[in-house]
Every structure is written in C-alpha cells, then in structure tokens.
C-alpha cells in the first residue's frame, strides 16, 4: 500500500468507527429516553407500563384540584371523559393550568394506580382537547367530537364563572 492509500484507509476506518460509536450511543440513548404518550382510556385498560416514565394527558377534571394547605403538594384528576386518572404532583403548576383545560403530565405510574408527575405542562388547545387524547379516544372506538363538545361546554362554563385571577379584581 502506498502511504497515501494507507492514509485514506485510516480516514475511512476512523470515520466508520466513530459513526458506529455514534449510532450505538444514539440508539441506546433513544431507547432509554423515549416517553410514550397514554390517555386515561389506555391507562385504565392497562396499556401503560408501571414505574417507567410516560406522558399522559387529558382535561383537568372540574373540582378535582386539591392542594395540601401546608406544602406545595397537589392532587388532581385528568380525564378524557371516559376514564379518569389521578395525578399527584409537588411543585408549581404552570400559568395556564386551569380546571377544564388540557394538560399533559410526565411521570411514573405507581401500583396504587396514581401517576406521580415530575412535570405538568398546560396545553391550551382551541379544540379543548390535546390532539393525542382525541386520537387515543378514536382508537378506543369513541367519537372524539362528542367529548370535545363536552369539554368545550365545561371550559366555557368555567370561564363564565370567572377564573381565579379574574375574580381578584
């Protein structure tokens, strides 16, 4: 082999091994860090894995938010109007978190059937329902439009009653 070819060979080998390492690491990291989405229907059916980080979403059920008076612990129910999911969270809720509004929570399901959330994301959607939830409902054989109408009804009623911020003034 001429030195030039040798150099080329090294370049190619180096490239290949680096790519292999990168691909390996990437696949490993991807597998460990993918969060699948589940709606309350799917969780009630037992589709969701236990004690693994998942995302779940739906609407915050009317009147379900209860705060611990001493700490920042909060419990609420996420619903897709077919099934309910109890969520436990400790921390500050996002600005747009509201009863009757869409929400996505990230956390782990525990044996008691509750979801212990690390993160709560408010999801304001014009259709009053996160699109993933609408799709999950459809797959479970429901018509999402009915539930969106129901959600819109609840949302509008709560709006008319006044949000907690609005009532301060």
Partner 1 sequence: MLIKIIPEIGHFALVIALLMAVVQAVMPLAGAATRRPLWMAYGRPMAIGQFLFVTIAYLCLTASYMLDDFSVANVANNSNSLLPWYYKFSAVWGNHEGSVLLWSLMLAGWGFAASVFSGDLPRDMVARVQGIMGMVCVGFLLFILMTSNPFERLLPNMPQDGADLNPLLQDFGLVVHPPMLYMGYVGFSVVFAFAIAALLGGRLDAAWTRWARPWTNVAWAFLTVGIALGSWWAYYELGWGGWWFWDPVENASLLPWLTGTALVHSLAVTEKRGSFKSWTVLLAISTFSLSLMGTFLVRSGVLTSVHAFANDPTRGFFILMLLAITVTLSLLVFALRAPRVSHKVGFNWLSRDSLLLINNIILVIMTVTVLLGTVYPLILDSLGLGKISVGPPYFNALFVPLTVVMCVFMGLGPVARWKSMSGRELWRKLGLAAAAAIVLGVAMPLVYGGEWNLWVSLGIVSALWIVLPMVRDLFDKTRHASSFVAGLRKLSLSYWGMVLGHVGIAVTIVGVAVVSNYNIERNVRMSPGTTVEVAGYQFTMTELTNRRGPNFLADTSIIQVQRGDEGRSFVMRPEKRLYLATGMPMTQVALRPGLFRDLYVAMGEDLGDGSYAMRVQYKPFVRWLWLGGLLMAFGGILAVADKRYRRAAARQPASSRIDQSPSQEATV
Cα gap 132→124, rounded to integer Å: 13
Which of 1, 46, 112, 166 is the binder for partner 1 (CB under 8 A)? 166
Which residues face 53 on adjacent strands?
A: 108
Looking at the Cβ atoms of 71 and 111, the one nearer to partner 1 is 71
**124 assigned to a ligand binding site:** yes
- Element holding 27 (H helix, E strand): helix 3-33
Please tell me whether residue 20 binds partner 1 under the rule CB under 8 A. no
Output the smallest distance, CB 169 to partner 1, in A: 6
Which of 34, 46, 111, 141 is the binder for partner 1 (CB under 8 A)? 34
Output the smallest distance, CB 141 to partner 1, in A: 17
Cα gap 94→38, rounded to integer Å: 21
**28 assigned to a ligand binding site:** no
Cα gap 34→86, rounded to integer Å: 23
Output the smallest distance, CB 7 to partner 1, in A: 7
Q: What are phi and psi of 66, to 5 degrees?
A: -130, 130
- Nearest by Cα to 37 from 137, 105, 115, 117: 105
Output the smallest distance, CB 94 to partner 1, in A: 8
Q: Residues comprising the binding site for heme?
A: 124, 128
């Amino acid at each position: 082999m001429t030195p030039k070819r040798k150099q080329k060979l090294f370049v190619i080998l180096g490239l290949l091994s680096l790519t292999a390492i990168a691909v390996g690491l990437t696949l490993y990291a991807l597998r460990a860090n993918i969060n699948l989405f589940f709606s309350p229907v799917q969780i009630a059916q037992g589709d969701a894995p236990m004690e693994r980080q998942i995302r779940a979403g739906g609407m915050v059920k009317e009147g379900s938010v209860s705060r611990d008076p001493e700490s920042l612990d909060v419990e609420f129910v996420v619903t897709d109007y077919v099934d309910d999911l109890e969520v436990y969270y400790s921390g500050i809720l996002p600005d747009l978190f509201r009863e009757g509004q869409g929400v996505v929570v990230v956390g782990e399901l525990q044996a008691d059937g509750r979801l212990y959330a690390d993160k709560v994301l408010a999801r304001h959607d014009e259709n009053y329902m996160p699109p993933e939830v609408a799709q999950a409902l459809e797959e479970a054989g429901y018509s999402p439009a009915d539930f969106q109408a129901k959600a819109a009804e609840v949302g509008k009623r709560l709006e008319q009653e006044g949000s907690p911020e609005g009532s301060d003034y």
